[in-house]
């Protein structure tokens, strides 16, 4: 099925470092969402973006909706051990097409 291209695939960083990841699509989306998935659990919504160019923060997390509507970025500042997990971007087409198309995921490992 269709998937968004997400990079990097995995990251190993030290506690306190900043993290950046991005997601690109060949299709336009009206909504971009970022989720985090811990092992054995379902994805948890982190940030939702509804307008091209929008920049939204949630604590140490900041995400942006690209102006072309074909990409999105997530930054995590001052990473901590509990940031470990898999981060997924997801695009939503809008209108009655509310299903999400997910990115391939970025696996984040944080070392002390």
Shortest CB 72 distance to another protein, Å: 14
Determine contact, residues 31/38, Cβ cutoff 8 Å: no
Determine contact, residues 75/62, Cβ cutoff 8 Å: yes
Nearest-angstrom CA–CA distance, 33 and 64: 10
Shortest CB 112 distance to another protein, Å: 25
How many of the chain's residues bind another protein (CB under 8 A)? 30
The only residue of 11, 19, 23, 33 in contact with another protein, by rule CB under 8 A: 33
Shortest CB 19 distance to another protein, Å: 19
Q: Does 102 bind another protein (CB under 8 A)?
A: yes
Binding site for another protein (CB under 8 A): 1, 3, 30-31, 33, 35, 40-45, 48, 50, 88, 90, 92-105
């Amino acid at each position: 099925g269709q998937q968004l291209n997400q990079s990097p695939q995995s990251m190993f960083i030290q506690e306190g470092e900043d993290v950046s990841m991005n997601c690109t699509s060949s299709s336009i989306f009206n909504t971009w969402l970022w989720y985090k998935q811990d092992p054995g659990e379902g994805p948890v919504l982190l940030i939702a973006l509804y307008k091209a160019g929008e920049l939204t923060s949630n604590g140490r997390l900041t995400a942006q909706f690209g102006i072309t509507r074909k990409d999105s970025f997530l930054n995590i500042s001052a990473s901590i051990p509990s940031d470990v997990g898999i981060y997924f971007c997801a695009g939503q087409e809008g209108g009655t097409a509310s299903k999400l198309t997910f990115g391939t995921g970025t696996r984040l490992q944080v070392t002390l």
